[in-house]
Structure 1
Amino acid sequence: MKIAFYGSSLLSSYWNGAATYYRGILHALARRGHDITFYEPDAFDRQAHRDIDPPDWARSVVYPATPDAVREVLAEARHADVVVKANGVGVFDRELLEGVLREARPDATTIYWDVDAAATLDEIRRDPGHVLRSALPQITAVFTYGGGPPVVEAYRSMGARECIPIYNALDPATHFPVSPDPVFACALGFLANRLPDREARVEEFFLRAAALLPERSFVLGGNGWHDKSMPANVRAIGHVGTASHNAFNCTPRAVLNVARDSMADVGFSPATRVFEAAGAGACLITDAWEGIEMFLEPDEEVLVARDGQDVADHLAALTPERATRIGAAARKRVLAGHTYELRAAEVDEALARLRAPAQEGVA
């Protein structure tokens, strides 16, 4: 099938945490024979911070962030069998959603692919005039990269015909064990951009843990932390490109995952870094959220913390041998059950089912 995908960026992870999710899912779909075009705006300085060149498995279209350019790329939607509008493009989101519904062929399958579903649902609840409220009944289905039953039920209650979680996963070709890099040497590494709905949890789970263990070293990667007050044993190193993610995950004794507020509240929302760290064989410490057992087994494949004290306690007790054992078990688990090849099969199955009524109408 021809798939037109309107998203934030395939080429850059700069202020764009969904990049590796897009790459993993779409690359796997391309290997299953789909013809994919990804449309992304030249915005937020992302093109100056590309992590990859345009891939050979998808046609990459970078368009100027102008109304005329948006209209031009939307006109191409009429050639696609499946038209996807992802949330959080960052510019012209309303115009893109309305345009997708306007330009897609009557027999095309339209998908709203939400990579931040809990936050999106909060926005809709607060805004009776939110564009997605009126659009949902017209969209064939909503795909999300997490959220489980609470998000599915919420989207259906707001008018979605179907809501199907397509969870984050591992691409073994891009995330795997590598040699340590001294640049990232520390007891605990944490990689995340500074965002308002994550900052308080970062203060608790990362910065408080650092303050409780002043003799240990901590490394913080990601955008926006340069002016944040931190304990003296924390090094903020700024943006870490995807080419360095494996080394970042393989070097520290352990790496940390901290969910954003809405994702922690809803649960069933493992971030991309959970699978990327596991794929690299890292010992992962994650904040507690409902549904973690669906993906990794606590104490055997991941360490779960309720607060910064728990993080500090885990680190204080963590020997190199146990860290290696947990990381190896996590890698084995995700390779067996949580790869993008498996997720792409789920997408294919869902698309076949969703497209069946339209194809019967054509016949």
Structure 2
Amino acid sequence: MSGHYDIVILGLSLSSSWGNGHATTYRALIHGLQTHGQRVLFLERDVPWYASSRDLPNPDFCTLDYYGSVAELLERHTETLRQAGAVIVGSYVPEGVAVIDALSAMALPNWHFYDIDTPVTLAKLGRGDEEYLARRQIPLFDSYLSFSGGPLLRRLETEFGARAALPLYCSVDADRYGPTGEAQEWDLGYLGTYSPDRQPALERLLLEPARQMPERRFVVAGSQFPADIVWPDNVERIEHLPPSEHRSFYNRQRFTLNVTRADMIAAGWSPSVRLFEAGACGTPLIGDIWEGLDQMFPSGSIVLALDTATVIRTLRDTTDAERNAMATAARRHVLAEHTATARAGELLAILGKHAQAIRPSA
């Protein structure tokens, strides 16, 4: 592949949102970059589990290409990578350590690591697990862009040797998420892939309320949940919900639940893209509690819940006027701080410090 690209991203997946949260994050960010006039190439490892479930095989906002091995990546894309204004490697890229070593050998003048899993990454490195990033590689990048902010950034610099650790939170494409006026079908819903460390919170904050409120309706959408989970009769299950259906899904809930992985709760400052999507849709949020959440969502825009009783009380006692006030506050904050266009602008400011090849916003 030839031609100049402002930014080349090597990420886990753009084409398939099945079983991962990366695709949604990349789609929003690249949409934002397009708004700023950037020409983006996304390089994705061609793996069977995504190839068989692609819900965006031909994006209209960037160029998407696949490679079958590290050798094929270098054979087909070396010149493109060298000519790019900036190169970004993401977390969980298959054979990520080999990919990073190969790119490091090119002496790219403007390249960065984007970690959409920072607390998980550092926990893995602490165990000596270098699945997609080796500890020795962190100082190689011009910057370490992190899904998580807060104190974790300082740790990346002092303990792991990152040249510059900077927050690049996920975001929402405001053109694709908003109120629809649809009738509400569920009192509380949840969207997320199964994770063992999230399941106790899902049990406590949705399944147990469902058992105690049989007259209410609940929904859980997401893949990879074990077959032995006993779902209450009033909990509807959706195995996989493509991003094209997220907006409608949120709009049909009275409240939506956000549940955070244990590593990210411990680190804090790790907002899920689901928070921003639901907020943009004007769907009131119930969330678990972690440091930094009050900065992402100010008081009055989200219900913080640690236990079943809080969720039941919220569903039972919150008036429509109170729900509408929460939804309005959350939507106003998301549109002011967490849109894809705003996040892309933050990224361009970072990249622009390292090379003049990045064109300014149009």
* Matched residue, 1:71: 74
SS in 2 for 1:46: helix
* Matched residue, 1:330: 330
For 2:31 and 2:58, how far apart are their aligned partners in 1? 12
Change (3 A) 1:73 1:210: farther
Which blocks of at least 5 consecutive residues in structure 2 are unaligned?
A: none
* Matched residue, 2:294: 293
* Matched residue, 1:310: 310
Change (3 A) 1:317 1:153: same
% identical aligned pairs:
30
**CA displacement at 1:69 relative to structure 2:** 2.7
* Matched residue, 2:21: 17
For 2:313 and 2:222, how far apart are their aligned partners in 1? 25
* Matched residue, 2:154: 153
- 1:34 has 2:38 as partner: yes
Compute the TM-score of the two structures, normalised by the length of structure 1.
0.90
Change (3 A) 1:176 1:49: farther
SS in 2 for 1:111: strand
User: 8 Å contact 1:74–1:100 — kept in the other structure?
Assistant: no
For 2:100 and 2:219, how far apart are their aligned partners in 1? 39
Which of 76, 96, 101 is 2:99 aligned to? 96
Which blocks of at least 5 consecutive residues in structure 1 are unaligned?
A: none
Change (3 A) 1:165 1:36: same
Q: Which has the higher helix share?
A: 1
* Matched residue, 2:246: 245
Q: Deviations over 1:210-246 (max 9, x none)?
A: 2232322210000022612222221211101111101
* Matched residue, 2:199: 199
* Matched residue, 1:132: 134
Change (3 A) 1:163 1:238: same
* Matched residue, 2:212: 212
User: 8 Å contact 2:285–2:302 — kept in the other structure?
Assistant: yes
Compute the TM-score of the two structures, normalised by the length of structure 2.
0.90
For 2:36 and 2:130, how far apart are their aligned partners in 1? 39
**CA displacement at 1:4 relative to structure 2:** 1.2
**CA displacement at 1:181 relative to structure 2:** 6.3
Which of 167, 170, 188 is 1:168 aligned to? 170
For 1:141 and 1:197, how far apart are their aligned partners in 2? 30
Change (3 A) 1:120 1:190: same
For 2:121 and 2:239, how far apart are their aligned partners in 1? 27
User: 8 Å contact 2:223–2:239 — kept in the other structure?
Assistant: yes
Aligned length: 350
Relative contact order higher in (CA < 8 Å, ≥ 6 apart): 2
For 2:250 and 2:12, how far apart are their aligned partners in 1? 25
User: 8 Å contact 1:287–1:307 — kept in the other structure?
Assistant: no
Q: What's the Cα RMSD here?
A: 2.2
Q: Deviations over 1:245-304 (max 9, x none)?
A: 011100011110001111111111110000000111101111111111212123x21111
